[in-house]
Amino acid sequence: MTPSKTPTMIPTMTRPFDAPGSGRQYGLDWLRIGVFILLIFYHTGMFFNTEGWHAKSLNANDAMEPFMWLSSPWRLPLLFLISGIAMRFLSDKLGSGRFAADRVWRLFPVILFGMYVIVAPQSYSELRLAGEIEPGWWAFWRQYAGEWDGPWSIHTPTWNHLWYVVYLFVYSLLLAPFFPLLRRLADSQALTAAGRGAAGGWLGVAALVVLPVLPFLLVRFTLTEDFPTTHDLIEDWANHANSLTMVLIGYFIAKNEGIWKAVDRALPVTAIVTAILLAFLFWAYTHLEIAFSDPVLTWTARIARIVFMWTIILTLVGAARRWLDHDGPLRRYLTAAVFPWYILHQTIIVAVGFAIRDAGFGVWTEFAIIMISTFGGCIIGFEVLRHIPILRLVMGMKALAPAVAPASAGTAKPRLQKL
């Protein structure tokens, strides 16, 4: 949630990622698709868990919380990593100036439309449940849209779940002037040699697992306590440090063939380490009183969470490269669809949840209604919006791009256009 008085895209591309020397990395597309779909399940879970959110079920309970917490360390970092990879390829193609202009054209309309149209029903539902406003959508929206930081307990207008797009937009513009320097560093003999070293033996694999974790540990021991995550852009310094670091890691590894070979080689090791950390963190999350009773155990869990973030990302990327590196009409359809789904999904969840919370349904009935409504709304919304040029623009799609073939179409390849 952002900006708030109480602290809650990959650049949209239908073009797959080019991997050095090996064609296209369809596996990264599949990972991006998977993470965006996982966000739908996660935000549905937010309606049912015991943490504060925009709307809450009367059947709220803590049953799903450990599983949700286990996804929190890596979902958005993985999207920022993939965004950094995409940023390298797009900036190499366009150059700094055209890249910045492209990001303004592709992301800024999404942010404005998202704040004033897509997200507004979330704020309406939240304030209605808090008893701060009377029923009446248009009276609320006129004040929501016409007054910066309205007279309510939450900041309005806001971007809520679209904070990822806002941050990616800001990072893109901040980094654009430095792309010539970053490109020289990424392609330097030192980093190329480091990539070859990482691919050449198990010591290099160990370095791949350990070294990228260090900046995140530094942030945890310095910024995190003073700057808890708020998604408000201005004072979210620990989140910025982590997210921008992940973007830069993606940028620097994007065309380093040695690093990609090291990721492939490391897969068995990272999978084992991830499984061990997953089991430990699940125990910690289901025994919080014990985990927080001893400072040593508490900080062990916090450090394990950071290491888990990186090892599960390496594991997922390595597995995607090995088993998901294939194309097809479903990948092409979902690659185009999941970003509009991401824009739409949370508003549907909140609005449907708000509408049914007092209907007396059981928790599983509520869950089924919200999931069917959300996926159905996202699919129908995409199918309608992709045929309207101006709405394509505010949904992160190219306004004049050719229509995307439906998932059931034949195999003909269409034209090509993140404790």
pLDDT of amino acid 404: 52
Tokens describing residue 177: 């002037």
| Torsion, Cα of 178, 179, 185, 191 (10° steps) | 140
Q: What region does 90 belong to: left with phi over 0, alpha with psi -120 to 50, or beta? A: alpha
Length of the chain: 419
d(CA 55, CA 68): 17
Whether the model clears a pTM of 0.85, i.e. scores above it, the answer is yes
pLDDT of amino acid 200: 85
Distances from the Cα of 186 to the Cα of 191, 218, 246, 255, 316, angstroms: 6, 23, 15, 8, 23
d(CA 404, CA 333): 6
- Cβ(74)–Cβ(309) below 8 Å: yes
Which residues lie closer than 8 Å to 185 by C-beta, 6 or more apart? 191, 252
Burial pattern 255-273, b for ≥16 Cβ within 10 A else e, equals: bbbbbbbbbebbbebbbeb
Tell me, rounded to whole angstroms, the distance of Cα 47 from its chain centroid.
19
| Helix/strand/coil for 395 | coil
d(CA 82, CA 339): 14
| Helix/strand/coil for 296 | helix
Question: Residue 275 CB: number of other CB atoms within 10 A?
Answer: 13
Burial pattern 359-394, b for ≥16 Cβ within 10 A else e, equals: eebeeeebbebbeebbbebbeebbeebbeeeebbbb
Q: Per-residue confidence of the chain (419 residues) as pLDDT tens digits?
A: 444 443 333 334 334 444 444 457 899 999 999 999 999 999 999 999 999 999 999 999 999 999 999 999 999 999 999 999 999 999 999 999 999 999 999 999 999 999 999 999 999 999 999 999 999 999 999 999 999 998 999 999 999 999 999 999 999 999 999 999 999 999 999 999 999 999 888 898 899 999 999 999 999 999 999 999 999 999 999 999 999 999 999 999 999 999 999 999 999 999 999 999 999 999 999 999 999 999 999 999 999 999 999 999 999 999 999 999 999 999 999 999 999 999 999 999 999 999 999 999 999 999 999 999 999 999 999 999 999 999 999 999 986 544 455 544 444 333 333 34
d(CA 78, CA 29): 12
Q: What is the DSSP letter of 361?
A: -
Is the preceding peptide bond at 157 cis, omega within 30 degrees of 0?
Answer: yes
Tell me, rounded to whole angstroms, the distance of Cα 235 from its chain centroid.
20
d(CA 149, CA 161): 18
